[in-house]
Amino acid sequence: MKRIAKFEDENRVLKTTTQQTQLSVSQALASNAALVPKALSSMEAGGVGQRSKADYSVGLQTLGLPDSERETMNEKLRSEGYGLDSNSASYIERPSWFADRSTVFYYSSSASSAAQDLARFMQSITGQVFVVKQGAGSGVDPSRRDVTLFVDYGKR
């Protein structure tokens, strides 16, 4: 009998705790419901979750082009609104890490769309199709993976 009474008491306590938790969750959901439309409209307007081109740091690596052409391309990137990474260089011989095809690398899945946009822009100024790939990120600051893009461009 004592065991049954004890279970009944524990059951009442659990029921009360559960009801309080449900009420607390319901209140939190109700108070946050008004924030959802605001967040969605902010995202659509380019706010939370959206980055501008200037937020990205683009590092341009070229193969078989003189520095002057790479610098001209960097200026076109800047004019298009992109931020430039200080890591930009022209190579005469292909470094072992350089992509076999003209490629835009991104390092966080959140930057994939920006990499696609950058690839289209690079195609518009070079006439070449650019592959878009997620890079390994060696040498990329881990805190900047979501805003770092690198371009390997080899003139054909």
* 8 Å CB contact between 144 and 57: yes
Residues 37 and 58 in one domain: no
The pLDDT > 90 percentage for the chain reads 63
Residues 12 and 60 in one domain: no
- What's the pLDDT at 134? 96
How would you label 58-93 residue by residue, b for 16+ Cβ within 10 Å and e otherwise? bbbbbbebeeeebeebbebbeebebbebeebebeee
Calpha distance 39→45 (Å, rounded): 10
Residue 152: pLDDT band with limits 50, 70, 90: very high
pTM of the entire structure?
A: 0.68
Residues 116 and 134 in one domain: yes
Answer yes or no: is pLDDT of 2 > 50: yes
Residues 75 and 136 in one domain: yes
Domain that holds residue 33: 2-44
Residues 86 and 139 in one domain: yes
pLDDT averaged over every residue in the chain: 85
- What's the pLDDT at 77? 97
pLDDT winner (highest mean) among 7-11, 53-57, 134-138: 53-57
Residues 75 and 129 in one domain: yes
Residues 70 and 28 in one domain: no
For residue range 63-116, list pLDDT tens digits in order: 999 999 999 999 999 999 999 999 999 999 999 999 999 999 999 999 999 999
- What's the pLDDT at 43? 47
Residues 8 and 73 in one domain: no
Structural domain total, the chain: 2
Answer yes or no: is pLDDT of 22 > 80: no
For residue range 25-37, list pLDDT tens digits in order: 667 666 666 665 5
Q: Which residue has the higher pLDDT, 66 or 7?
A: 66
Q: What is the CATH number of the domain that holds 118?
A: 3.30.70.2390
Mean pLDDT to the nearest integer, 3-8: 78
H or E segment to which residue 97 belongs: none
